[in-house]
Amino acid sequence: MQNNPTPVAASWLRRLRHGLLFVVSTCTVSFALIEVGARVWLTRAAPQSSFEQYASLDQLRVRADKAGESLSKFERHLHIGFVGSPAFHRGANRHNTLGLRGEEIPQPKPVGEYRIVCLGGSTTYTSFVQDYRLSYPALLQNELRGAGYENVRVINAGLPGWTSYESLINFELRVLDLEPDMIIVYHAVNDLIMRLVWPPEEYRGDNSGAKGPAPGLDRPIPLLERSTALRMAMIGMGLAESATVLDTTFIQTAPSFFGHRYMTEQDRGTYPSQFFVQTPPRIILARNPPTYFRRNIEHMMLIARHRNIQPVLATFAYAERDEGGDALSTPLMRRGMDEMNEVIREIGREYDVPVFDFATLFPRDPSLFIGSVHVNRAGAQLKAELFAKYLIDSKRIRPALAPRSPDR
């Protein structure tokens, strides 16, 4: 015997279905309108900075193609992980066809030219100075040529995110082909962050405890991030990253790496999480000494000497900020950078390698920095002046390139 609903129950079920249909239809239409509005605003009205923060890779590609610009300043590399995109240009920033920040480099090397190659990360690339002509290596070239060393060419071989690992491989595989006469190595902070690996047995010489293969610009896009409105909301809440953020696209971190987590918690004011309460970062750094940083720098020195290239090491400068700083301004990070600088000094003594103690000379004045370690335009100019003075006063540049006499 079939039980049919009573007229009252049937009426109630119809109203419920109609109500649910109305709610679903309303939510669908509302979301569609929000999605259309978000896309129109982002692609037609948003400032460029907002567009770059919230756009998908496809939206970024469309705008870059229309403007005749490169999508990203980075591209994947078989051995190094990622390098600078060849012929990248955006605004006042540009790379040459080798992917190095700056003008084209004549090849083969002209007779009589003295080449200085600056190796490092974002602090060598000079990330927060948008005009490539005002980066510290470019200004160093200006300073040396202005002092009469007209045959000097200074090459910027730094890249944001690079550690001594990448610089060592880049030096061996790409920089040697440029026939440098001198290299200047400026590293510390990125290698320091890479030491925040736990447990200690994951801290290895190949850096696999911190990094893994990254997907690059062809990475799959999560379903929720395909919606402009949802993607904007998730990025705004810190649940997703911008499409071309270096740490998302070209650096894949390992589960045992806690460096980015430490910095994120510091920047958001949520430090320390339960993990860092149980495992303080000072303990992690103590258990993971700068063994591999030392080894990488030593190997760069040995390769340079074997190739008759003058190596110059430089200690790493940072701003002193009592308050209002970033994650790199914490006492832990400052002590860590001091420790890395002492390694540089020790290598200089042990291998009789010139060390420019830049960290002791450069003012720790926050007005010269953006954040704690990246110089602004004024800082880049002073940095170039101090490096030029050191190279000239210490007579590190070969005598054949002595300044012209006044009567010439």
Whether 407 shows a pLDDT value over 50: the answer reads: no
Least confident among 222-226, 228-232, 291-295, 376-380: 222-226
- Find the farthest-apart pair of alpha carbons in the chain and give their distance in angstroms, rounded: 119
Q: What is the pLDDT of residue 3?
A: 63
Q: What is the mean pLDDT of residues 368-390?
A: 97
Buried/exposed 11-43: b ≥16 CB within 10 Å, e otherwise: eeeeeeeeeeeeeeeeeeeeeeebeeebbebbe
Q: What is the pLDDT of residue 406?
A: 45
Whether 152 shows a pLDDT value over 50: the answer reads: yes
Token pair, residue 257, equals 């790496």
Map tokens 């919230």 to a residue.
54
What are 8-21's pLDDT values in tens digits? 777 777 777 877 88
- pLDDT band with cut points at 50, 70 and 90 for residue 58: confident
Buried/exposed 316-342: b ≥16 CB within 10 Å, e otherwise: bbbbebeeebbbbbbebbbebbebbbe
Q: What is the mean pLDDT of residues 182-202?
A: 98
For residue 106, whether the previous peptide bond is cis, meaning omega lies within 30 degrees of 0, is: no
* Helices and strands per DSSP (H, E), number in the chain: 16, 13
Helix%, strand%, coil% for the chain, nearest 5: 50, 10, 35
Whether 258 shows a pLDDT value over 60: the answer reads: yes
Least confident among 66-80, 181-195, 363-377: 66-80
Token pair, residue 137, equals 């290596």
Q: What is the pLDDT of residue 404?
A: 47
Sign of the CA dihedral with 96 first, then 102, 103, and 106 last: negative
Least confident among 154-163, 224-233, 280-289: 224-233
Q: What is the pLDDT of residue 39?
A: 85
Whether 385 shows a pLDDT value over 80: the answer reads: yes
Buried/exposed 159-187: b ≥16 CB within 10 Å, e otherwise: bbbbbbbbbbbbbeebbbebebbbbbbbb
Whether 208 shows a pLDDT value over 90: the answer reads: yes
- Report phi then psi at 240, rounded to 5: -150, 165
For residue 199, whether the previous peptide bond is cis, meaning omega lies within 30 degrees of 0, is: yes
Q: What is the pLDDT of residue 361?
A: 97
Q: Report helix, strand or coil for 70.
A: coil
Q: What is the pLDDT of residue 17?
A: 81
Map tokens 């002509």 to a residue.
133
Whether 1 shows a pLDDT value over 60: the answer reads: no
Nearest to 341 by CA among 119, 166, 189: 189
Q: What is the pLDDT of residue 5?
A: 67
What percent of the chain clears pLDDT 90, i.e. is strictly above it? 64
Q: What is the pLDDT of residue 115?
A: 97
More confident residue, 367 or 249: 367
What percent of the chain clears pLDDT 70, i.e. is strictly above it? 94
Whether 365 shows a pLDDT value over 90: the answer reads: yes
- pLDDT band with cut points at 50, 70 and 90 for residue 323: low
Quick check: 359 and 316 in contact, CB under 8 A? yes
- Report phi then psi at 363, rounded to 5: -60, 140
Q: What is the pLDDT of residue 63?
A: 81
End-to-end CA distance of the chain: 117
pTM (2 d.p.): 0.86
Whether 190 shows a pLDDT value over 60: the answer reads: yes
Q: What is the mean pLDDT of residues 139-166?
A: 97
- pLDDT band with cut points at 50, 70 and 90 for residue 151: very high
